[in-house]
Amino acid sequence: MTEAEVFPAPVVLWSHPEDQRDGKPLLVLLHGYGANEQDLLSLADLLPGDFAVASVRAPIAMGPGFTWFPLTASIDYSLERVKAASAYVLEWIDAIRVGHPSVTLLGFSMGMAMATTLLRQRPTDFAAVVGLSGFVVDADGDPTFRDDELDGTVPMFWGRDQQDPVITPDKIDFTMAWVRKHVKLTKVLYTGMWHGINQQEIGHVGEFLTHEVLKK
C-alpha cells in the first residue's frame, strides 16, 4: 500500500456554499508547513469574488498542524513523498473540477512547492499559479515532472522578500532558474514582509488573477 493510499480523506474549506460554486473558476489554496486549511482561507475575502476558493489541508499531521511532505532538509524527505502528496491533491481536483471552467493554484511556502509540482505533473491543467514566499522542488530529472512541456505560457506570480529567513539561498537559486525557463513570470519583491504575506502583495495577486485568469 502506498503512502498516498493511507492518507486521510481530504479536508477542504470553501469560500462559497456548494450550491454557489458551480460555474465559477476554482482557486485552490495550499498552505505551508505546520499550518492547516484555515491558514489561507481569509485571503478569499481579499481576492476577486469571481472565484470559488478551496483551501485544502495537507495530509500528514505535524505538531499542531499539517505538512505536505517532510522538510527537504530532513532525513525523511524524498521526492517520492512529494509525489505522493501531489497525487493526493490531483485526485481531489480531478473529482471536483468538472463544475469549474478553470483551476488556478495558490501556494504559500511549502504550498508553493506543491502548487508548482502539480503544474509540472499536469502542464495543461491549470490556468495560472501563484507562489508566495516559497520554492520549487528539485525533481532531479524525474520523468513524472513534465518540465519540457512547460514552454513559458502558463502565467505564474512569485512574490517574496529577499530577507526571508526561511527559504534558503539554494532553493531560491533553483527556483529562479526554473521559473525563468518554464513559466510566464510575474515576480515581485517586497520589503519588511519576511516569511509572510502582506496587504500589498495580496493586492498584486488580485490584479494578477484578474488579468491572467478572469479576463482570458
Per-residue DSSP letters for 67-122?
Answer: ESS--TTSTT--HHHHHHHHHHHHHHHHHHGGG-S-EEEEEETHHHHHHHHHHHHS
What DSSP state is assigned to residue 35?
B
Q: Is 49 inside any structural domain?
A: yes
Q: Is 81 inside any structural domain?
A: yes
Q: Is 113 inside any structural domain?
A: yes
Q: Is 1 inside any structural domain?
A: no
CA atoms within 13 A on the CB side of 105: 30
Residues of the chain with pLDDT under 50: 1
Domain count across the chain:
1
Q: Is 3 inside any structural domain?
A: no
Identify any residues that bridge with 61 across adjacent strands, giving them in sequence order. 66
Q: Which residues of 116-146 are buried (b: 16+ CB within 10 A; e: fewer)?
A: bbbbbbbbebbbbbbbbbbbbbebeebeebe
- pLDDT score, position 1: 46
Angle between helices 79-96 and 110-121 (to 10 degrees): 70
Q: Is 38 inside any structural domain?
A: yes
- pLDDT score, position 111: 98
- pLDDT score, position 5: 62
- Which helix (H) or strand (E) element contains residue 172? helix 169-182
Q: Which domain holds residue 120?
A: 12-213
71, 33 contact by CB (below 8 A): yes
Q: What is the pLDDT of residues 91-101, one digit of tens each?
A: 999 999 999 99
**CATH assignment of the domain containing 195:** 3.40.50.1820
Q: Is 207 inside any structural domain?
A: yes
28, 56 contact by CB (below 8 A): yes
Q: Is 128 inside any structural domain?
A: yes
Which phi and psi (to 5°) does residue 97 adopt? -75, -15
Q: How far apart are CA 187 and CA 159, in angstroms?
A: 6
